[in-house]
Amino acid sequence: MAYPEWSEIWRNRMDNTFSFMAPWYVPMMATETPTFMGRPHASKPEELKGADVVIIGAPYVAGWGGYAGVGKEEWLAAAKRIRQQSARYGSGYIQEFDIDVFEHLKMVDYGNADIPPESLTEPTAENILRAQAAVEKKVNDALDAGAIPIVIGQNSPCGSFAIAKPVAERAKGKVGMISLDTHWDIAPLDKLTMDPRIAGSDSWKYKTYELCPQYDMANLVEIGERGMLEDKVQVRRFIAGGTHFFPMWRIRRGFDVEKICGELRHAYDGTDKVYVHFDMDVIGGAGPASGDILGDLAEPIGMTDYEVLRIAYEVGRRGLDAMSFICIPPGSPVIYRLIVYVIMYLCAGLAERRAGR
């Protein structure tokens, strides 16, 4: 099934029985692009004042053609489509927690980073660094305002290192990391450019720990990897460095998501800040949509949507300084809604934390 046009999404929103809950007007940032959850659109740094959470799009895809066997345009559409799907919801009220997120948190949508078009068509090292800098600028603006940037990206470095780096630069002590992924992304060198400056799709985490000394492997909680994809030398290096590793095999063998939530503490122990990264290929074929929409990124024993949401909610309850998404499975409305849920359930945890619940 092809992804629906915005006109169809909007018409269905108005026609469905739940539409009585939703305002008729949704702020628009561009043609076919509403703001996330109908929140105010900030176009300048000064408009972030007082914000608790700042949504930022980072539509960047690595490579000279498609990515992982899926057309580049499908990947690039994620930030727009997630915002479109968020327009389906009429408020920030989450019934499971009996809490209206927006009664406790101010969220604004800061639009998309000004990623140079040539970085998508001519991914040289210099162009990629310019794209990374564009995301860093938006993230720094949010951090300057005292807010939590949540970046909806697709590929590294724009959806990972460009968020991890500004967090580290502001830390007075160590920085913890919570990472959900199918892949470790710890190759010593970016395979696309072979340039040691680039924190690419398969190397961004290696580069984070190489270039940002504030990150300590002992405060890395790595969740979801499986199978025969990794270099044993690098995996063993991270584990020897103290990384707390929870592969899907262990989770399916009884170390369930509630126990995982308890282990998130390692990212907070003795750290000044915490960066959270959700690579959504972690869901594989476990749902809610077929893993095949991920192309070559799909792997068996995927994490379920509930497990991802439970971890996001727990992260919110514990607090965080920045969050990012990459490899959001393309083309499925329900997958884009899952990202809306992840952000909002995380914010529910933040709201409950703020309310002292």
> Residues 6-54: pLDDT tens digits?
988 887 776 654 545 555 578 999 999 999 999 999 999 999 999 999 9
Per-residue pLDDT tens digits for 160-176: 999 999 999 999 999 99
Single-letter amino acid code for the residue at 346: L
Per-residue pLDDT tens digits for 205-263: 999 999 999 999 999 999 999 999 999 999 999 999 999 999 999 999 999 999 999 99
β-sheet bridge partners, residue 277: 179, 324
Distance CA 116, CA 230 (A): 32
Distance CA 299, CA 184 (A): 14
- What pLDDT does 15 receive? 63
Nearest to 282 by CA among 294, 271, 267: 294
DSSP 72-94: HHHHHTHHHHHHHHHTT--SSEE
In the chain, where the domains are located: 7-172+182-212+228-240+276-309+323-355
Q: Which CATH class is domain 7-172+182-212+228-240+276-309+323-355?
A: alpha beta
Nearest to 47 by CA among 101, 111, 123: 111
What is the chain's Cα-based Rg? 19
CA max distance for the chain: 57
Residue 174's φ and ψ, nearest 5 degrees, are -80, 155
pLDDT-derived band of residue 71, with 50, 70 and 90 as boundaries?
A: confident
Say if pTM beats, i.e. exceeds, 0.75: yes
- Total residues belonging to the chain: 357
- What pLDDT does 17 receive? 47
Per-residue pLDDT tens digits for 295-336: 888 899 999 999 999 999 999 999 999 999 999 999 899 999
Q: Which residues contact 137 (CB under 8 A, 6 or more apart)?
A: 113, 114
**Run of H or E residues at 249:** helix 248-252
Residue 219's φ and ψ, nearest 5 degrees, are -110, 20
Distance CA 37, CA 157 (A): 26
5-27 b/e (C-beta count within 10 Å ≥ 16 → b): ebeebbeebeeeeeeeebeeebe
Pair 218, 171: CB distance under 8 Å: no
The mean pLDDT value of the chain amounts to: 94
β-sheet bridge partners, residue 33: 30
